[in-house]
C-alpha cells in the first residue's frame, strides 16, 4: 500500500485571523490526523 509521507495545508487564507487559522490547524490535528494513523495501522 502506498502511503503519504508529506502533506501541506494552507489554513491561513482570505481574511481569516491568526486565531481562526490556529484553531483550524488544532482541529485538524485533533480530529483528522488520528484517522490517518488508524488507516495505516489497519493496512498492516
Structurally, the chain folds into a number of domains equal to 1
Asked if residue 7 is part of any domain, the answer here is no
Instruction: Identify whether 28 is part of a domain.
Output: yes
Residue 6 lies in a domain: no
Degrees to nearest 5, angle at CA 29 with 5 and 32: 80
pLDDT score recorded for residue 39: 66
The residue segments making up the domain with residue 36 are: 15-44
Which pLDDT value is given to residue 2? 62
Exposure string for 1-39, b = 16+ CB within 10 A, e = fewer: eeeeeeeeeeeeeeeeeeeeeeebeeeeeeeeeeeeeee
- Convert the pLDDT of each residue in 1-44 to its tens digit: 566 778 888 888 899 999 999 999 999 999 988 888 776 666 66
Contacts of 36 (CB under 8 A, 6+ apart): 4
Classify residue 31: in a domain, yes or no.
Answer: yes
Q: Is residue 4 part of a domain?
A: no
Within-domain flag for 5? no
Q: Is residue 3 part of a domain?
A: no
Amino acid at each position: 500500500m502506498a502511503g503519504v509521507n508529506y502533506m501541506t495545508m494552507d489554513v491561513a487564507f482570505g481574511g481569516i485571523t491568526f486565531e481562526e487559522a490556529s484553531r483550524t490547524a488544532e482541529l485538524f490535528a485533533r480530529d483528522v490526523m488520528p484517522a490517518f494513523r488508524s488507516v495505516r495501522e489497519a493496512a498492516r
